């Protein structure tokens, strides 16, 4: 199957290439970049030397393919999506433009009108662990934000069973520097970024809308509040989620919820060890993998449940999750191309 990537020079595009070049069922046909058009892909993604024998092309030079990955900055794919739909029968958008279903909700969170509101409801949210049946029948899939992936997977079992109160749901998200993309800024300047534990979004994080949209159908009036903090790591996202249990919810019931909902899900691992160094999920050991690790703890003094969810933001949070969606859409094994187990030590 021929696949192409529009917007392939960023970190997410590089991860897509790394995974797709080793995928047994696909051939990477074209990769676009306005800035690097005509340059070898390995010039930008040096880890792909000798593997990626491709040059970047301009978006206008794209030819039809079987499936198109779209990795454009927020606000761009909505303007070109109608034209892209003429190039491929199946599209996976990695950006934010089609994550929300309502133009009004989009404007309230992003501050401007959506350019293609007629397409918003046609995209299926790309979370295979929850919406695999819909993804299998979809032609258009919108990949969620990385904080949203970690939080939704962490929250889904207790929310689906009504084990928690709808508010407050407090998410403390700690993010690696690659989450902000490959473009440099004053915040990414080494003297400013090194050693940082910097809360850059204390309130009003946009990914709250995605979480409420997907999980709000299980608990009416679900209210999610996110605080995002940049920490000194390149890859990884760690969501520490604080929720309050309804009366009577016990640890045995919580364990059963996670085990039942994620039984047979190849990329969710439950981590809650009584001893050892890695008793709870940690992004460090998930670098390069498509796994989401989830653990939890009960506060003995009050009915508070603390959920810990860890991913590699560039893989399970972006590119790997997109390939997992592609596998479902195209009838491939769900794990195809995604078998890398990670490294230890790193």
Quote the CA–CA distance of 199 and 248 in Å, as a whole number: 35
Residue 158 DSSP symbol: H
Residue 335 DSSP symbol: T
Quote the CA–CA distance of 167 and 262 in Å, as a whole number: 24
Instruction: Name the catalytic one among 65, 146, 292, 325.
Output: 146
* Active site (annotated) includes residue 325: no
- Could you tell me which residues come within 8 angstroms of residue 28 by beta carbon, excluding any fewer than 6 positions away? 3, 4, 5, 17, 20, 21, 52, 54
- Start-end of H helices in the chain: 11-20, 41-44, 77-84, 103-110, 117-120, 128-136, 146-160, 190-193, 207-215, 251-261, 319-330
- Spatial contact of 332 and 271, defined as CB atoms under 8 Å apart: no
Which tokens sit at 85? 């739909």
Calculate the alpha carbon distances from 343 to 123, 291, 346 in Å.
34, 13, 6
Catalytic site positions: 146
């Amino acid at each position: 199957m021929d696949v192409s990537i529009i917007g392939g020079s960023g970190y997410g595009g590089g991860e897509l290439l790394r995974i797709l070049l080793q995928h047994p069922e696909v051939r990477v046909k074209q990769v676009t970049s306005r800035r690097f058009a005509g340059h070898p892909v390995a010039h930008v993604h040096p880890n792909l030397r000798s593997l990626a024998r491709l040059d970047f092309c301009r978006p206008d030079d794209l030819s039809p393919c079987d499936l198109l990955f779209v990795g454009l900055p927020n606000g761009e794919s909505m303007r070109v999506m109608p034209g892209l739909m003429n190039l491929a029968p199946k599209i996976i958008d990695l950006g934010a433009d089609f994550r929300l279903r309502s133009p009004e909700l989009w404007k309230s969170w992003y501050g401007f009108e959506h350019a293609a509101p007629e397409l918003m409801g046609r995209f299926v949210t790309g979370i295979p662990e929850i919406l695999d049946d819909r993804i299998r029948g979809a032609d258009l899939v919108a990949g969620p934000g990385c904080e949203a992936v970690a939080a939704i997977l962490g929250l889904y079992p207790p929310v689906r069973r009504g084990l928690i109160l709808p508010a407050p749901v407090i998410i403390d998200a700690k993010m690696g520097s690659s989450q902000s993309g490959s473009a440099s800024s004053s915040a990414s300047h080494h003297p400013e970024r090194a050693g940082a534990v910097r809360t850059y979004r204390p309130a009003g994080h946009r990914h709250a809308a995605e979480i409420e949209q997907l999980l709000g159908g299980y608990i009416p009036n679900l209210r999610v509040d996110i605080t995002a903090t940049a920490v000194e790591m390149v890859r990884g996202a760690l969501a520490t989620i604080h929720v309050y249990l309804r009366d009577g919810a016990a640890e045995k019931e919580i364990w059963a919820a996670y085990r039942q909902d994620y039984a047979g899900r190849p990329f969710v691992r439950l981590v809650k060890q009584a001893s050892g160094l890695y008793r709870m999920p940690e992004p460090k050991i998930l670098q390069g993998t498509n796994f989401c690790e989830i653990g939890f703890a009960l506060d003995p003094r009050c009915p508070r449940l603390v959920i810990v969810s860890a991913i590699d933001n560039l893989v399970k949070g972006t590119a790997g999750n997109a390939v997992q969606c592609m596998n479902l859409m195209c009838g491939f094994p769900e794990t195809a191309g995604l078998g890398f187990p990670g490294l230890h030590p790193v």
